[in-house]
Amino acid sequence: MLTVTMLGCGGTQPLPGRALAALAVQAAGHGVLLDCGEGTQTALRRWGVSAYRLAAVLLTHYHGDHILGLPGLLQTLGSLGRTAPLVVAGPAAGQQAVADAVAALAGALPFAVQWRAAETPFAAGPLTVTPFALAHRVPCCGWALTLPRAGRFDPARARAAGVPLALWRTLQSGQAAGGFTPDQVLGPPRRGLKIVYATDTRPCPALQAAAAGADLLCMDATYAADADLPKAKLYGHATCREAGALAAAAGVRRLWLTHYSAAVTDPAPGLAAAQSAFPAAVAGADGLRLDLEFDKEETP
């Protein structure tokens, strides 16, 4: 129901074998791109993620390794014939200057770019995307992406309300029909899916709260060695061990480590450190992919 692709897992500079950190989330034919450093459009192609039906680009902050692929992506979307407006959301501070520079470099486009300050949740295709504050050295926001799941269909309520059988399927899918509304026939909303993307950041309470119970947390793990903790604090990043600890504290189901420093040539030691607190941690890797389904339930 929801596919997540890690387009890159590197920080600061794109490397031949490691693209800059970015994530693509696809649901029901719509896509959301998280961060867009230099080379992200190439990674989309490499991993077979269609850029055409992109609903929004969500930026965490305006450091180069998270935004410099934007002018090229916009030009490519234009050459693909896009005419639908594209939402680009990120922190309010500094956004106008970035928007102006990106527009100057991208040139004339056949679609509108709608810059949006990351302040309130909004819809991107079937997803609800919610920004929250991270702790970096510039204004930076994480993103929680949720795919809601309607309540279970209740035939007894449908019959009691007098809903004709021909409308059951439509109401069950969450759409109104024949004067009836889904809430007349559905139980309370069930657990949906939640993806949380959080880089660049120190571990912080807002992140732990936003990540609570997430199906997947993709988090800053710039440094592999615990000895680099002072650097992590200085530059506003996290160590792999800290990412594991936060994942455990937030009770997430899965953790992907990302935004590796170029000095991290072997992900194994950092992964081991993360797994000491969170055994299900996965080392970031370009092209890592995950298909998430709603939880299976017993038939009542």
Out of 9, 54, 60, 71, the only residue in the binding site for its own copies (CB under 8 A) is: 71
Of 35, 65, 220, 228, the active-site residue reads: 65
Decide: is 106 part of the binding site for its own copies (CB under 8 A). yes
Q: With CB under 8 A, what is the number of residues at the site for its own copies?
A: 31
- The answer to whether residues 145 and 243 touch, using CB atoms and an 8 Å cutoff, is no
Q: DSSP letter for 10, please.
A: B
Decide: is 69 part of the binding site for its own copies (CB under 8 A). yes
Nearer to its own copies, 1 or 51 (CB): 51
- The answer to whether residues 142 and 210 touch, using CB atoms and an 8 Å cutoff, is yes
Question: What is the C-alpha separation between 251 and 208, in angstroms, rounded?
Answer: 9
Nearer to its own copies, 98 or 204 (CB): 98
Q: Is 286 a catalytic residue?
A: no
Shortest reach from residue 50's CB to its own copies, in Å: 14
Nearer to its own copies, 13 or 83 (CB): 13
Decide: is 137 part of the binding site for its own copies (CB under 8 A). no
- The answer to whether residues 254 and 280 touch, using CB atoms and an 8 Å cutoff, is yes
Decide: is 64 part of the binding site for its own copies (CB under 8 A). yes
Stretch that binds its own copies, among 21-29, 69-77, 181-189, 273-281 (CB under 8 A): 69-77
Out of 11, 14, 90, 203, the only residue in the binding site for its own copies (CB under 8 A) is: 14
Nearer to its own copies, 100 or 119 (CB): 100
Nearer to its own copies, 68 or 129 (CB): 68
Question: What is the C-alpha separation between 239 and 245, in angstroms, rounded?
Answer: 10
Decide: is 178 part of the binding site for its own copies (CB under 8 A). no
CB-based contacts of 261, cutoff 8 Å, min separation 6? 11, 12, 222, 223, 224, 228
Out of 50, 53, 79, 268, the only residue in the binding site for its own copies (CB under 8 A) is: 79
Decide: is 38 part of the binding site for its own copies (CB under 8 A). yes
Shortest reach from residue 63's CB to its own copies, in Å: 8
Shortest reach from residue 197's CB to its own copies, in Å: 21
Indicate the Cα dihedral angle 249, 253, 254, 259, nearest 10°: -40
The one-letter amino acid at 237: H
Q: Largest alpha-carbon pair distance within the chain?
A: 67
Return the closest-CA partner of residue 262 out of 91, 31, 18, 49: 18
Return the closest-CA partner of residue 262 out of 5, 9, 7, 6: 9
Shortest reach from residue 102's CB to its own copies, in Å: 7
- The answer to whether residues 37 and 176 touch, using CB atoms and an 8 Å cutoff, is no
Counts of helices then strands in the chain (DSSP H, E): 10, 14
Decide: is 107 part of the binding site for its own copies (CB under 8 A). yes
Question: What is the C-alpha separation between 56 and 67, in angstroms, rounded?
Answer: 14
Which residues belong to the active site?
65
Residues near its own copies, by CB under 8 A: 12-16, 37-39, 41-42, 45-46, 64-65, 67-69, 71-72, 75-76, 79, 97-98, 100-102, 104-107
